[in-house]
Amino acid sequence: DAMIALYSTFVDADLDATDCLTAELVKTAENAYRDVGIAFANQLALICEVVGGDVWTVRELVNKSPGRAVLYPGGGVGGHCIPKDPWLLAAPLGEGAADSLLGVARRINDGMPSHVAGLVGQLADAGNGSRIAVLGYSYLENSDDVRNSPSRVLVDLLRTDGYSVAVHDPYVHEFTGEVMEALRDADCLVLMVAHKAYRELDLAAVAGRMRHPRLIDARGFFSADELRSAGFEFRKLGVGAPG
């Protein structure tokens, strides 16, 4: 009762009293549930790439069925809680945790930055000193939170592969310079975070600023038509490569 009284002074929502174990299970289960949902979307995206489908269209049509809510796929999962809470929930399984649903979901989501790096490799050869521009460094759109950022993993992978990498993010102080400067002479652009600010980009001007107008869209942010109109060679996460 004392804790309910305390929390009611600053929480404007229902407060449910329970024991410590249940509270911990609820907290970790909520984040694990979301992680599994994202992993399903990412696995669906990978399947669509293999068979030549379009995950963004598939997701839209599946979600027309009552009770269906497929989440958005993307270049990875970050933040403080979701990457760790599934492992905390699965810990009682011991050695079985890695092969549990929660463990498999974690591996799928952790593997997405590497998959995006592979898409970059399909468009830009690292062997000739290609310059890659990564747009978005926070783990969440319209936020400056970089905890466990998938973009950080991607940047490290690209640099290990031999690429030169420039980063822009309108919310992360370290990367808030001019976006067009980050794009200067780039051989490939990777859209990792769906910041609203990037809606204001003039794609034709972006293409003209780059050495080679190539783009990887890891968030389904741009339509294929607008990318073609701007003159981009592109790959969208979850969409099969052109034949």
- Answer yes or no: 27 catalytic: yes
Nearest to 182 by CA among 192, 227, 237: 192
Pair 157, 216: CB distance under 8 Å: no
Q: Known catalytic residue: 48?
A: no
Q: Which one is catalytic: 20, 27, 64, 196? A: 27
Determine the Cα–Cα distance for residues 146 and 91; give it in Å rounded to an integer. Answer: 26
Written as six digits, the tokens of 80 are: 């403080």
Strand locations in 153-229, DSSP E?
A: 164-168, 188-191, 214-217
Amino acid occupying residue 240: G
The residue from 20, 48, 64, 81 that is catalytic is 81
Burial of 40 (0-12, 13-18, 19+ CB in 10 A): middle
Sign of CA dihedral 92, 93, 98, 99: negative
Tell me the catalytic residues: 27, 81
